[in-house]
Structure 1
């Protein structure tokens, strides 16, 4: 039986929700956030071309894969990007991410 991945999500209004995702789901964090009705446009469909799935990783960055060249380039275009920034479409959900805490930026 697959593990459950627990992710704490803070929305743009300060609301906090705990998501429980099956470990073997093989989705990106962006896909899970969209399915959980967070305000993420993801206009490029997960290709790291639009940055509309920009998140900040509050806890658990050490368990993420390294930034790809495409992700780094896209984050460089964002005025509010920080060293805690990632694109949710580039974060694959694995059991190693259990306990991840993130903040989403709405697309208002």
Structure 2
């Protein structure tokens, strides 16, 4: 079963087993991962599930869509080159692990 590893701002790590097809955001919310607010519930409309995608994980997720790209500009912690909305990060079949770094604040 694939894993999502969440890295907190203080460096603490927590790995969660997730089913293929799950999103990084829903897995975080379902497992009480701090720092993922997800106000819009996964509709790519709020940027409160913003994460920084680990470099090794960038090759295993779909590229940023136009809607996600626009919403990332309003991320509270500041956009970086590796910024993503965790609601748009889907565990595709065959992916073994995705690593995301949670920003210091979402709102």
Instruction: Report if TM-score (shorter chain) is over 0.5.
Output: yes
Where does the alignment leave 5 or more consecutive residues of structure 2 unmatched? none
Instruction: Tell me, in whole angstroms, the C-alpha distance in 2 between the residues paired with 1:99 and 1:38.
Output: 17
Q: SS at the partner of 1:70? A: helix
Where does the alignment leave 5 or more consecutive residues of structure 1 unmatched? none
1:44 to 40, 52, 57: 40
Equivalent residues in 2 for 1:1-108 (5 A)? 4-23=1-20, 26-39=21-34, 40-58=36-54, 59-78=56-75, 80-105=78-103, 106-107=105-106
Instruction: Tell me, in whole angstroms, the C-alpha distance in 1 between the residues paired with 2:70 and 2:95.
Output: 24
More strand per residue: 1 or 2?
A: 1
**TM-score normalised according to structure 2 size:** 0.84
Instruction: Tell me, in whole angstroms, the C-alpha distance in 1 between the residues paired with 2:14 and 2:46.
Output: 25
CA spacing shift, 1:49–1:80, aligned 2, 3 Å: same
Deviation at 1:107, TM superposition (A): 4.1
Name the count of aligned residue pairs: 103
Q: SS at the partner of 2:84? A: strand
CA spacing shift, 1:14–1:60, aligned 2, 3 Å: same
Instruction: Tell me, in whole angstroms, the C-alpha distance in 1 between the residues paired with 2:31 and 2:57.
Output: 20
**TM-score normalised according to structure 1 size:** 0.83
